[in-house]
């Protein structure tokens, strides 16, 4: 290798490192039964919940939100075939927030159950879709069972 090739190779590696360091992580939807407000994260326990399990949903965006409105929508069905919309709601967010947690209170106290959060009347599959005025951010499929 001559000197010119070494310089080009080092410059390429430096640029690659710079771009890798500046990359933005993909937004994810975390669903769980446990929420620690002190830490600010939901323990992602999977995508299968009993109707009576508490359900807390969190969108982890990675950096500050670069939009003002966040929309959560719940649909019956699967990711491949969404059915009827169960409910949706818009929330205001700021650029200082890196995550948004959707938690509701049950009528009986504590956090809302999977039945209450999704508004399902019988066990089934639900799609949680999160979008902004720019378009779809993330979606996740949940299975709600009766066990």
Nearest by Cα to 101 from 47, 45, 59: 59
- Residue 67 falls inside a structural domain: yes
- Residue 111 falls inside a structural domain: yes
- Residue 2 falls inside a structural domain: no
- Residue 19 falls inside a structural domain: no
Domain count, the chain: 1
- Residue 1 falls inside a structural domain: no
Would you state the pLDDT for residue 107? 84
In this structure, what CATH number is given to the domain that contains residue 63?
A: 2.60.40.1930
- Residue 126 falls inside a structural domain: yes
Domain that holds residue 57: 24-145
pLDDT tens, position by position, 74-112: 999 999 999 999 999 999 999 999 999 999 998 888 999
How far CA 56 is from CA of 24, 28, 49, in Å, comes to 25, 14, 11
Whether the full predicted model's pTM is greater than 0.75, yes or no, is yes
């Amino acid at each position: 290798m001559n000197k010119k090739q070494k310089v080009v190779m080092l410059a390429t590696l430096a640029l690659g490192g710079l771009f890798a360091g500046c990359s933005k992580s993909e937004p994810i939807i975390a669903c769980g039964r446990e929420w620690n407000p002190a830490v600010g994260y939901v323990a992602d326990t999977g995508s299968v919940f009993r109707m009576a399990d508490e359900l807390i949903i969190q969108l982890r965006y990675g950096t500050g939100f670069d939009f003002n409105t966040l929309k959560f929508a719940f649909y019956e069905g699967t990711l491949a075939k969404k059915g009827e919309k169960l409910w949706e709601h818009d929330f205001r967010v700021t650029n200082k927030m890196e995550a948004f947690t959707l938690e509701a209170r049950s009528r009986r106290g504590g956090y809302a159950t999977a039945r209450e959060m999704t508004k399902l009347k019988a066990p089934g599959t639900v799609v949680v879709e999160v979008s902004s005025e720019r378009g779809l951010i993330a979606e996740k499929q949940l299975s709600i069972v009766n066990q």
